[in-house]
Amino acid sequence: MKDTHLHHEPHLESSDLLKDIVIGMSDGLTVPFALAAGMVGAVHGVAIDQTKLIILAGIAEISAGSIAMGLGGYLAGKTESDHYNSEVKREYYEVENMAEEEKKEVRQFFADWGLSEEIQDKATEEIIKDKDRWVRFMMQYELGLNEPDPKRATKSAFNIGISYIVGGLIPLSPYFFTSTALNGLRASAIITLICLFVFGFFKSRLTGMNPWTGGLKVMLIGAAAAATAFGIAITNSIERIQQVAAIVNEYHTEPLVIIISAIGKTTNALEKIAEAFYAGHKEEALQLFHVVKQQHLTTAKYLLVTQYNACVAQLNDFFTEVEWLLHDKPVRDYDYYYDQVVCCGELFSTCIISHYLNEVAIANEWLDVRDILRTDDTFRNAGIDWTYTQQAVDRMEWTGCYITQGFIGATDANESTTLGREGSDYTAAIFASLLNAESVTIWKDVEGVMNADPRQFPEAQLISELSFDEVIEMSYYGAQVIHPKTIKPLQNKGIPLYVKCFLDASLPGTLIHKKQVKHLPPIIVVKQKQVLMHLHSQDFSFVGEKAISTLYALFSKLKIDANLIQTGAISVQVCLDDNEAKVSQLAQAASDIFEVQVEKGLTLLTIRHYTPELLESMTMGKNIVLEQLTKKTVQVLY
């Protein structure tokens, strides 16, 4: 008798359960670990029962976190079920009302498998005999959707919540048995990192990945989260928000509109989330966003007591908006999604700062700038609808202290937009112009406007006073000062602009106004990584207006800003930043009318209000390939 045992293939069972445990356990291990590490940094050296405070904070975090994670799992499961049911209804409608189109899609599916036309027809006819089978086929193979377990939402909430509690108690447990917070942190770090490695090892083994690599990766993520919470977040974000309160307190007797940008590197983090989402990496985008969420929630925990619950409720509303978007699929241009995601950094920061100011008795009103600042739909570089925005401003009284966002606005369809480079400064200038403000103060990390980059020139000196015209000239030549689009609204109304040091408000800073300023020091700008493009007429004819117009049209089309242009009888030389893609595109397009050569690895030196002695000292020994000189400005490419 023949052995007729079926071939058995080992496959992973209960993938939903495993997914829930992974989500709950990984966050449970990482978030309370990072929170406790951050708390150690916050209370280190403070005369209180440190371990008791950390334990209470940890238990509160685990309780709130398990509920929040469980609720998130429930909503995700419910959303999956609702989405499936809505698609089922749509498919039934389509097979009933668009039968021929749906039939073609079934046949095309089998054609894509390489089946003969005869089998395509037979298989298609067999499937469409039964409407329910037809719909199930379309759901599974057209949309890639399988019917979810009707109890999935409840199960997911329970599994994730319990896993979060179990994971959270592991890093917190050492603090119950140690006398000092630092000793607890050391023990917690050892235990948690071992658990993270073991967790990552078995998770990777079950999912078919290299278990050693997976274990190491999960362990390093946990270590990075704790290090960030212990160090950077505490000493940077918290102190700076407290400094905001100190500065605002100095001016609080006057009507104020305070424009605030995102905290720290939040914008960079949100950009990575937008990129991952648009590339179709939904899970990666959601994981990256979870990190941003936790950073802001942790900041709120360190800063707030009486205002904490209200702040978290408002933050959760913003978080939900982003998460709904990230669960979708991109169907529009990248710039649209960039703005919808990146704009949230300013919403998060202003929410926290507004609540903190209220907590320290600085009464203020939080405003969503998107309700006021109307723009067009040029995403990532939106233009202002000045008429609508003026009307929105005029509808308010502006008698107290208002906190709102820089860098962002909204279209008439309530789609978020961003204003491009230096957007927060620009927002301040817009409000100042529309409110006829007495002045604008921009707070930066430097002493004021310097005559050179202090990172390149330690002897750089503060410029105490500048004209609007001079600042625009400096910006044109590449100085990292105030962008011209920020200057224009202020210049039109004659509103003075102060640039002051955020880290030391007592420093005088720089005043920028409409008066001309004499006896300025030499202003030095050095731009590395420059390219010189040599454009020579193909038939040795003069370079006329048509060729120059074509060249400038290419600059506009490719969004290229030339840093230096020199025109001869039969040639043009263009200096620009070494952006490989744009340089290549420009060279290829220009080759239709010019012979093109490209010289790389150059540096552009610009000196405003130069002296011959300074120019000689800064170019000594340099191989100069191009030089332009006027009465006030010299540019040297070497």
d(CA 406, CA 262): 8
d(CA 386, CA 388): 6
d(CA 577, CA 600): 10
Angle at which helix 266-278 crosses helix 282-303, to 10 degrees, equals 160
d(CA 615, CA 218): 55
Of 526, 513, 426, which is closest to residue 464 (Cα–Cα)? 513
Which residue has 């990248």 as its token pair?
Answer: 334
Bridge partners of residue 536, in order along the sequence? 571, 595
**Predicted pLDDT of residue 38:** 56
d(CA 216, CA 218): 6
Residue 458: φ, ψ to 5°: -60, -25
Angle at which helix 15-43 crosses helix 211-230, to 10 degrees, equals 30
Put the strands of the sheet holding 465-467 in their side by side order. Answer: 440-444, 497-501, 510-513, 465-467
Of 525, 420, 421, which is closest to residue 471 (Cα–Cα)? 525
**Predicted pLDDT of residue 207:** 62
Residue 594: φ, ψ to 5°: -130, 155
> Across the 638 residues of the chain, what is the mean pLDDT of every consecutive 10-residue run?
45 56 61 61 49 79 78 75 84 86 85 84 86 86 78 82 83 79 74 78 71 75 54 58 87 87 87 92 88 87 90 94 91 93 95 94 95 94 94 92 94 93 87 93 88 87 92 84 86 93 88 91 92 87 81 86 88 89 88 88 93 91 91 92
d(CA 25, CA 199): 8
User: Mapping DSSP to helix (H, G, I), strand (E, B) and coil, where does residue 638 land?
Assistant: coil
Which sign does the torsion angle of CA 229, 231, 234, 237 carry? negative
Burial zone of 569 (CB within 10 Å; 0-12 exposed, 13-18 middle, 19+ buried): exposed
**Predicted pLDDT of residue 2:** 43
Of 614, 623, 630, which is closest to residue 457 (Cα–Cα)? 614
**Predicted pLDDT of residue 203:** 67
Residue 117: φ, ψ to 5°: -60, -35
Say if strands 401-405 and 416-418 run parallel, antiparallel, or are unpaired.
Answer: unpaired
User: Mapping DSSP to helix (H, G, I), strand (E, B) and coil, where does residue 207 land?
Assistant: coil
Bridge partners of residue 532, in order along the sequence? 575, 599
Q: Take residue 58 and report the two structure tokens written for it.
A: 């940890």
d(CA 556, CA 547): 14
Burial code (b: 16+ CB inside 10 Å, e: under 16) for 452-488 equals beeeeeeebebbebbbbebbbbbbebebebbbbbbbe
Task: With residue 381 as reference, give the H or E element that holds it.
Answer: none
* CB of 54 closer than 8 Å to CB of 43: yes
DSSP 176: G
